[in-house]
């Protein structure tokens, strides 16, 4: 398996020394249903695509999502549709190697699970074997409920995803908020209920009118993870690069907690200036000849 080889910590920049923490489990996440009496605190989830990012996020997050959003964030693709299983496997393995606490969930990319439950099982099994992740995530509601049940009954934990489903952008016609009509709102609630009843251990609710997210959170037994939904969900997820301020254009539901793009730009400007002024490298960065 790709996660078993030994990294030379003397030479590797990414130095994944295990932290003295026990990794969370899928059942532990499922029990964190904060809307229920006695439920736990809300779940914190962010995307991660690399070892180093995983190392930095892992101590603070309950779950790390290796999202197919990497197609846009890492590869500059126009949507998530072109993302492949091999891309997800490579980045998923990196995130597992860089984390020791959070449950790692991997998106199943478009075209890898929709044809049949058997296709979904083969794709999910491939991802879990190649990466060592704990669970997969797939988009879709009532139509995908049989697949969620098929996977769950065969030992593959599944996180659902309803509302705005980016893989269906060509059908939806864009990334606008969903559930503005009563009929669409009812469909989203029915989708979430079907996926939860089929065995999903959690359900992402993306880009919906807030009352829908609250209604779903109160109706289903597993945790809801909001993204552009409601603070009343059982947890929240964002693309890490968005909340860190690495992109100028972000969705309405993103809160920028930093301006990493600005700070990186300033640091690179300072570096380039020192190079051109022959100030860098200085005495501390060179190997002088010995007498």
114 is catalytic: no
69 marked ligand binding residue: yes
152 marked ligand binding residue: no
SS3 content of the chain, % helix, strand, coil (to 5): 40, 15, 45
Contacts of 138 (CB under 8 A, 6+ apart): 107, 108, 113, 120, 144, 147, 148, 158, 159, 160, 161
Pairwise CA distance, residues 4 & 2, whole Å: 6
Q: Residue 37 has what DSSP assignment? A: T
Contact (CB, 8 A) for 243 and 232? no
290 marked ligand binding residue: no
Which token pair is 197? 């009843």
Per annotation, catalytic residue among 153, 182, 184, 206: 206
Contact (CB, 8 A) for 32 and 223? yes
259 marked ligand binding residue: no
**Residue in the structure block whose two tokens are 């500059």:** 76
Q: Burial, 271: exposed, middle or buried (Cβ in 10 Å; 0-12, 13-18, 19+)?
A: exposed
248 marked ligand binding residue: no
Which token pair is 17? 């020394």
**Could you give the residue ranges of the DSSP H alpha helices within the chain?**
26-31, 51-57, 70-73, 85-97, 117-131, 145-153, 169-172, 182-197, 210-219, 240-243, 260-276
What residues form the annotated binding site for 3-methyl-2-oxobutanoate?
Answer: 68-69, 107, 137
- What amino acid positions are annotated as catalytic residues? 206
What residues form the annotated binding site?
Answer: 68-69, 107, 137, 139
């Amino acid at each position: 398996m790709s996660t078993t080889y030994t990294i030379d910590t003397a030479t590797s920049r990414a130095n994944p020394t295990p932290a003295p923490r026990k990794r969370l489990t899928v059942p532990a996440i499922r029990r964190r249903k904060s809307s229920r009496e006695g439920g736990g605190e809300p779940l914190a989830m962010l995307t991660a695509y690399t070892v180093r990012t995983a190392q930095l996020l892992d101590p603070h997050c309950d779950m790390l999502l290796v999202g197919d959003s990497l197609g846009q964030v890492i590869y500059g693709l126009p949507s998530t549709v072109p993302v492949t299983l091999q891309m997800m496997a490579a980045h998923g393995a990196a995130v597992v190697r860089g984390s020791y606490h959070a449950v790692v969930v991997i998106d199943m990319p478009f075209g890898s699970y929709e044809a049949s439950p058997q296709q979904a099982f083969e794709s999910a099994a491939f991802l879990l074997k190649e990466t060592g992740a704990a669970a997969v995530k797939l988009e879709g509601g009532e139509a995908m409920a049989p697949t969620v049940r098929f996977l769950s009954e065969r030992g593959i934990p599944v996180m659902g995803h309803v509302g705005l489903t980016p893989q269906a952008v060509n059908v939806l016609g864009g990334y606008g908020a969903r559930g503005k009509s009563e009929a669409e709102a009812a469909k989203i609630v029915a989708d979430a209920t079907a996926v939860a009843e089929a065995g999903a251990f959690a359900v992402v609710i993306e880009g919906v009118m807030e009352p829908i997210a609250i209604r779903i959170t109160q109706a289903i037994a597993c945790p809801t993870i909001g993204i552009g939904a409601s603070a009343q969900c059982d947890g929240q997820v964002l693309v890490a690069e968005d909340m860190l301020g690495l992109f100028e254009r972000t969705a309405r539901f993103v809160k920028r907690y930093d301006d990493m793009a600005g700070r990186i730009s300033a640091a690179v400007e300072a570096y380039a200036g020192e190079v051109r002024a022959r100030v860098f490298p200085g005495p501390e960065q060179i190997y002088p000849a010995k007498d």
